[in-house]
Amino acid sequence: MELHRLGVKFFASDPASIHLEDLIPVFHGWIQRQVIPGHVLIDVHDYSHIQNGPGILLVAHEGNFSLDMSDGRPGLFYYRKTPTALPATEHIAAIVKSAVQACALLEKDAKVAIKMDEGLVIANDRLEAPNDEATLAELKPAVAAALQQVFPGAAFNLSRANSDPKERLAITVQRV
Amino acid sequence: MPTWKEKLAGRMDPQIAEEVDVFETQIALRKAGKMDEKVFAETRLRRGCYGQRYDNGHRHDGVRTQQLEFPSDLTKGPETFWDAPGMQRIKIPFGGLNPDQLDTLAELAEEYSDGILHVTTRQDFQLHYVHIEDTPNIMRRLAAVGITTREACGNSVRNVTACPIAGVCRSESFDVTPYAKAAAKFMLGHPDAQGFGRKFKIAFSGCREEACGLTSLHDVGCIAATRSENGNEKRGFEVYVGGGLGAVPQQAKLMNDFVAEDELLPLIQSIGRVFARLGEKKNRAAARLKFLITKLGLDEFRRLVDEERKILPADSRWSSYIPDVARYQESPKHGPTHLNGQQRPEGFEKWHLTNVYRQRQEGYAAAAITLPLGDLTAAQARQVANLARRFTGDNLRTTVEQNILLRWVSEADLPDLYRELGRAGLGEPGAGTILDVVACPGTDTCKLGIASSRGLAGEIRSRLSERLFALDESVRNLHIKISGCFNSCGQHHIADLGFYGTSRTIANRKIPHFQVVLGGKWQDNAGAYGLAIGTVPSKRVPDVIDSITARYVRERKGTETFQAFIKRIGKQECRAMIEPFMEVPAYEKDRSIYSDWGDPREFTIGDMGVGECAGEVISVSQFDLADAERLVFDAQLQLEHENYTQADSLAYRAMTQAAMALVKTQFIDVGDNADVIVAEFRSRFFDTGLLGDRYAGNKFAEYLFRRHDSPPQEHTIDQAHRIIEEAQLFIEATYACHDSLAERGARGMVVAPVHSGKAAGKL
Ligand code: HEM
Ligand code: SF4
């Protein structure tokens, strides 16, 4: 599987405390300081007018970060769009790391706390990773190994988030 | 793992599939520095791939102008970095869409864009922040569901638009859908539509009085009309020409009051030919059809079009679709019913009032899905596709008001539909009202944007949504349209209250402003354009709207329209109305006015880039020559894979392609038959010595003649190698000849290209 298009989401601890518009200046500040390693941060896009949408988006050449509102569960989403030239596990680990970095920045600059004990990994490529058991079986070990790299010693439960073939393959990650 | 190309083979129209392969090769060639950036720019634009703000690597971050360090220095066109993600426009002829297509669009938004589908002011979709490398697969996945992005931008025939209620409308003469479809198909990639100096827009409307088709702002506007002949009803069109918005808006003029249905396509083709031949090519600002018509006068233009029509080589496609027109029918999912006694969910009445249109067909309704700022998420798009499957069958349309329309809803299903839309976050009322603000991309993504049209639209929406139904009815039904600059992509001229972005400098600081444009007319197919009365700071616009509309309610006489009211009180008074809002407080007192809606950075216009409303004007021949180069490149790939027969045939095709490029500078109708191309090339360029004046061109022409007259008996590595070398040299010679002709043309030594065999005799 040559899967470089992957997304990782961590959920906000206190959804009620989030005011999307407040994120706009924060993300502009990140672009000013180019604070996310390995990323060329380009633009901020306001999607707050859409229910359960991408909220406020921070666009980088390498992928999109957002304070995402999908499924009515706010959180930090990072979608990788470009390849990293790393092997599968390291590639996933790099994506998780970028998301974790963004979460830390969010907490520091916007006072939005993100929980690290629950997340979502989405294979954002219907060709390479159709939403079926076979792909799940193939992807799961790489995701588990990547999580081990980023959170050494922690144990996680991985389960398939939905089985609708039109949806993307998504894995719910729960810390145990 | 198969690629998308392999997986979808057989599901794509073979011609579109090949075009996408060609585009993928062009991407590779540009990446390898083997394709000129300007030719590549117009090539990608003609496939719908636009640039986006900051793709020139400059971005003002609120404090200083920052260089964005994209990974490579390669460009996609002048001042457009390769690595900067861009916009992909997806053409939806007449806005017609089925659920499977919507599902595919949703998938593409998720995988390659930002999860959002954006509906434009001309019934298209746009995806933003897309990498150019991903576009071939996007195009393939679209092709597999019957959508092409070809000619979505660039100097070409843009999306053909039509009233979204065509076919279900209560006041139309007849359903224009099949005609719009035929025109779109016929003009797509048509050789006569490749040499334009600017874009070319066609619209269809079912009647003259309503707004839906907006024909008067199009290059060619076709309004359904019928005539009785010998007791039979005959279908045709009133055809208007030379309309257009932009910095110098113009109403289309009536060119022909009845064009019979079978004469419609040849007429559009003839107009295209005249435009390609005589339209301005150098000065982009005067290159739309409207300028040519002004220059020539309508009568002379009509005469030239008529002349062109007479010499057009006949084409069976002009009328072959007409027998299908009568059969064209949309089939509803459920039988007709009435809204009677069903339980109505909360909010339904309001939604029903603004978003539901009773169809001509008893028992059916068309329901508008209000999309804030024209946006919906991929998940919402899938939900809409499912609702269409459940309630209406295949019948979806996008609208120029940036909404989606579900047609053929059986009326008793409306409450259920409303409930489901609400669950998807799409149940807002207010379609077509003052709340349903239309906005171009503006500074959000457009390189030419000056002020934030979407930011302002969002603000207006959120202020008015609470009080929509408390507003006086006369105000509730007004239209607001906003453009980020004078280019008017948001169609501000035809709104009751229009705004376009501009900037003013006060005490050395720039402040985002909007020009207030009043008096535009939405009805009568956008029957009148409004005029600017003055500028106000961006942050004052919502107050301006409140003030003007309050006065309208106060002083309205009887059923006076807003447009009539504006006319009655006069320019002076209009300006006086906005004057109190023009004042700009000192920076130290109120900084908020020095930044734009939704953008806390201090305002600057430093981010503006070179606009890609289209790329450079590239002649048909330049495209053909670039194509010839690509074919030699493909030949090399085949050689590498030891496919000598294919390598030979591609190299040969490259030579005929290059020869055709030159012939077309004199004889545009040469066609693609190799015998004809070679004969024409021989007599026009070889025998005359035209080719021979540089780089030993005539010698290289012998390569073409030899390969044409005696194809190889055997295909070997040496033969393939040799012919590739020869093809390369021949293409060099044709380039040199093309450039020298162009130089001489610039010095006034070459006449304009001759347009057809017959006309060539006359000139
Ligand atoms: C000098 C350059 C440009 C001119 C003169 C221009 C003009 C126009 C006009 C007049 C329309 C309006 C509607 C109509 O004719 O029916 C339009 C549509 C539009 N323009 Fe532009 N435009 C330019 C560049 C751009 C750029 C750079 C962007 C942003 C990337 C853009 C985005 C749009 C969009 C989204 C639409 C609606 C869409 C469609 O055809 O689907 N335009 N343009
Ligand atoms: S009106 Fe101006 S800002 Fe808006 S899309 Fe067109 S060119 Fe861009």
Q: What is the pLDDT of residue B148?
A: 96
Tell me which residues of chain B, numbers 314 to 343, contact chain A at a CB-CB cutoff of 8 Å: none
Contact B375 A49 (CB under 8 A): yes
Contact assessment for residue B451 and residue B596, using Cβ atoms and an 8 Å cutoff: yes
Which residues fall within 8 angstroms of residue A163, CB to CB, at 6 or more apart? A131
pLDDT given for residue B756 in this prediction = 36
Outline where B71-222 has alpha helix (H): 99-112, 135-143, 177-187
* Strand, coil or helix: B694: coil
Which of A49, A52, A128 has its CB closest to that of B458?
Answer: A49
User: Distance from the CA of B455 to the center of ligand 2, in angstroms?
Assistant: 13
Q: How far apart are CA B393 and CA B210, in angstroms?
A: 27
Mean pLDDT for the stretch of residues B741-746: 71
**For the segment B225-252, what is each residue's pLDDT rounded down to a tens digit?**
999 989 999 999 999 999 999 877 899 9
Put simply, whether B1 touches A (Cβ < 8 Å) is: yes
The confidence score (pLDDT) of residue B694 equals: 56
pLDDT digits (tens, 9 = 90+) for B422-449: 999 999 999 999 999 999 999 999 999 9
Predicted confidence (pLDDT) per residue in B170-219, tens digit: 999 999 999 999 999 999 999 999 989 999 999 999 998 887 889 999 99
Nearest CA-CA distance, residue A154 and chain B, Å: 30
Res B746: pLDDT: 60
B116/A42 CB distance under 8 A:
no
pLDDT tens-digit series, residues B573-610: 998 999 999 999 999 999 999 999 999 898 888 888 77
Asked if the model's pLDDT at residue B497 lies above 80, the reply is: yes
**Is the Cβ–Cβ distance between A15 and A125 less than 8 Å?**
no
The stretch B717-729 carries a mean pLDDT of 86
Q: Which stretches of B154-285 are assigned E, i.e. beta strand?
A: 161-162, 202-205, 220-229, 232-241, 253-260
Residue B693 scores a pLDDT above 70: no
Q: State the complex-level ipTM.
A: 0.98
Do the beta carbons of residue B206 and residue B173 sit within 8 Å? Answer: yes
Q: Is a pLDDT exceeding 60 seen at residue B334?
A: yes
Sign of the dihedral through C-alpha B44, B47, B51, B55: negative
CA distance B127 to B106: 10
Q: What is the pLDDT of residues B607-658, one digit of tens each?
A: 887 777 666 677 788 888 888 988 887 888 888 889 999 999 999 999 999 9
Tell me the pairing of strands B202-205 and B161-162: parallel
The CA B438 to ligand 2 mean position distance, Å, reads 12
Nearest CA owner, ligand 1 atom 35? B120
Atom 36, ligand 1: which residue's CA is nearest? B489
Residue B758's pLDDT band, with cuts at 50, 70 and 90, is very low
What residues of chain B, 574 to 633, have a C-beta less than 8 Å from chain A?
598-601
Ligand (nearest to CA of B526): 1
Sign of the four-CA dihedral B67, B68, B71, B76: negative
Mean per-residue pLDDT for A23-43? Answer: 95
Which pLDDT value is given to residue B135? 98
- CA dist B641 and A48 (Å) reads 52
pLDDT at A78 over 70: yes
pLDDT at A159: 95
Q: What pLDDT sits at residue B760?
A: 30
pLDDT at B606: 80
Say what the pLDDT of residue B612 is: 73
Per the document, the length of chain B is 763
The predicted pLDDT at position B633 comes to 78
pLDDT digits (tens, 9 = 90+) for B30-73: 999 999 999 999 999 999 999 999 999 999 888 889 999 999 99
Q: Is B439 touching ligand 1 by the criterion CB < 6 Å?
A: no
Q: H-type helices in B398-489, by residue range?
A: 414-423, 453-465, 473-476
CB contact under 8 A, B66 and A32: yes
The answer to whether A153 faces chain B, any CB pair under 8 Å, is: no
pLDDT of A29 reads 95
Q: Is B250 in the pocket of ligand 1 (CB under 6 A)?
A: no
**Confidence band, pLDDT 50/70/90 cuts, at residue B755:** very low
